[in-house]
């Protein structure tokens, strides 16, 4: 299996690269050109893409959309530290073939690669159960129902606020203006029915803590 790893932090890509190279049956390439991912993927011609979605959730989702539109048949498996309850379903809707938390056991990575690479969809048992419950009962008020109404960019901003970033730090991280971030904050407050910025910060921080405890 030829695995192409996309990660904008070269050191972070070394972990899964070493893990897979220690086992037989894998050829691993780390993408160096993130400006033209479709062209890079076409040249490498991998069996599967392993994409690490970091703090910039929106960028990862846009990359999935671009790859899926141009290269519909190449499976994509997403690795991320973001809680699967918040991001996994959104990732699959964007066109990925699976979602794996970075803190999972190493053997889960190979399991996920083979399941996604063979045309299936890899999600944890808990996440599959959650999605099935939503299908069986569309009125079910899930824990993250309110967050599902946020756009990809708004979710990105919400997550950074929960990690303690102020408006300027969020703007710097996402390469946007502080004015744009302030607009996103206003939209988030409206969608989540939050009265002010202090409440927003507290809710976002509690959400991060709750997800870490799961």
Q: Cα–Cα distance between 149 and 34 in angstroms, integer?
A: 29
What would be the CATH architecture of the domain defined by 2-132?
A: 3-Layer(aba) Sandwich (3.40)
Report the candidate in 76, 71, 73, 60 with the shortest Cα–Cα distance to residue 113: 76
pLDDT of residue 117: 92
Q: Where are the domains of the chain?
A: 2-132, 145-213
pLDDT of 159 reads: 86
**pLDDT for the residue numbered 143:** 47
The residues pairing with 28 across neighbouring beta strands, listed in sequence order, are: 3
In this prediction, residues 24-32 reach a mean pLDDT of 89
What does the pLDDT look like over 163-209, one tens digit per residue? 899 999 999 988 899 999 999 999 999 988 898 989 999 888 887 77
**Which CATH code of 3.10.150.10, 1.10.10.10, 2.40.30.10, 1.10.287.70 fits the domain covering 145-213?**
1.10.10.10
pLDDT digits (tens, 9 = 90+) for 36-91: 888 889 999 999 999 988 767 888 888 899 899 998 899 999 998 887 877 888 89
* pLDDT in the model for residue 20: 92
Cα–Cα dist 214/70, whole Å? 36
pLDDT score of 72: 87
């Amino acid at each position: 299996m030829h695995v192409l790893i996309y990660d904008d932090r070269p050191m972070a890509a070394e972990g899964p690269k070493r893990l897979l190279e220690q086992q037989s049956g894998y050829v691993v390439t780390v993408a160096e050109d993130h400006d033209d991912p479709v062209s890079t993927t076409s040249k490498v011609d991998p069996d599967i893409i392993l994409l690490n979605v970091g703090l910039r959730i929106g960028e990862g989702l846009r990359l999935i959309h671009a790859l899926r539109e141009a290269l519909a048949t190449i499976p994509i498996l997403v690795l991320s530290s973001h809680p699967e309850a918040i991001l996994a379903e959104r990732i699959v809707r964007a066109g990925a073939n699976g979602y794996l938390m970075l803190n999972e056991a190493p053997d889960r990575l190979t399991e996920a690669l083979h399941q996604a690479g063979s045309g299936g969809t890899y999600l944890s048992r808990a996440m599959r159960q959650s999605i099935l419950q939503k299908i069986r009962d569309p009125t079910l008020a899930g824990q993250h129902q309110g967050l599902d109404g946020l756009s990809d960019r708004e979710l990105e901003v919400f997550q950074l606020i929960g990690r303690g970033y102020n408006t300027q730090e969020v703007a710097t991280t996402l390469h946007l203006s502080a004015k744009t971030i302030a607009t996103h904050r206003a939209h988030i407050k409206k969608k989540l029915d939050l009265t002010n910025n202090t409440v927003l910060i507290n809710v976002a921080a509690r959400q991060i803590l709750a997800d870490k405890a799961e």
